[in-house]
Amino acid sequence: MRAVDAFSLWLRAIGLQSVVDTHAWIVPTCQTIHFVGLALLMAGVGLFDLRTLGMGKGLPIAPLLARLVPLAVVGFLVNIVTGILLYAGDPSMFGHNLAFGFKMLFLALAGANALLFTVSGVQRQVEALGPNDDAPASAKMICSASLFLWVGVMFWGRMLPFIGNAF
């Protein structure tokens, strides 16, 4: 049994699928909140990545990072909760959808990229940068990949209604 099938069965077993099914307002509310979470996530990640790539070089990175990371984390957590609720509403719509698979792949790669940024020491190098300092090439590569991967998550999420058996 595939992991996505096991997850779908678990959602049904705990009753989450029936809760979403019986309350018509849950899906549109979750879609709206999911979009807001994505905006928070992209504001935090995107602004940091763009600064590291050289835009807004007059800003020191450490205070920017301290303000943007919590924003991105809140957005990500909001999207985890709303994403699970949306999935629970109709697992068959998502579980075997090619776009959903790619969305999850890009999400996993974005997480691995963020982990690489943190554990490789690149984050410490970037935090030490002051105004007008240029980030090292390794940071620019990781931030470029981050932007690409998060845009990919958005793209594949948006493709859900158009690819596979969704809607």
pLDDT tens track for 114-154: 999 999 999 999 999 989 999 999 999 999 999 999 999 99
pLDDT score of 23 more than 90: no
State the pLDDT confidence band at 19, using cuts at 50, 70 and 90: confident
Question: Which residue do the tokens 């504001």 mark?
Answer: 43
54 is a domain residue: yes
134 is a domain residue: yes
What pLDDT sits at residue 27?
86
Q: Give the total number of structural domains in the chain.
A: 1
% of the chain beyond a pLDDT of 70:
97
Nearest to 26 by CA among 38, 16, 12, 14: 16
For residue 33, with 0-12 CB atoms within 10 Å meaning exposed, 13-18 middle and 19 or more buried, which class applies? middle
What pLDDT sits at residue 166?
53
pLDDT score of 167 more than 60: no
Six-digit token string for 82: 């709303």
For 57, the 3-state DSSP assignment is coil
Q: State pLDDT tens for residues 77-115.
A: 999 999 988 888 877 777 788 999 999 999 999 999 999
Give mean pLDDT, residues 20-35.
88
Local structure of residue 25 (DSSP, 8 states):
T
What pLDDT sits at residue 165?
61
166 is a domain residue: no
The pTM for the full model equals 0.87
* Position with higher pLDDT, 8 vs 57: 57
154 is a domain residue: yes
56 is a domain residue: yes
Domain hosting residue 64, numbered range: 3-159
What residues have CB less than 8 Å from 119, skipping those under 6 apart? Answer: none
Six-digit token string for 65: 């990072």
167 is a domain residue: no
pLDDT score of 15 more than 80: no
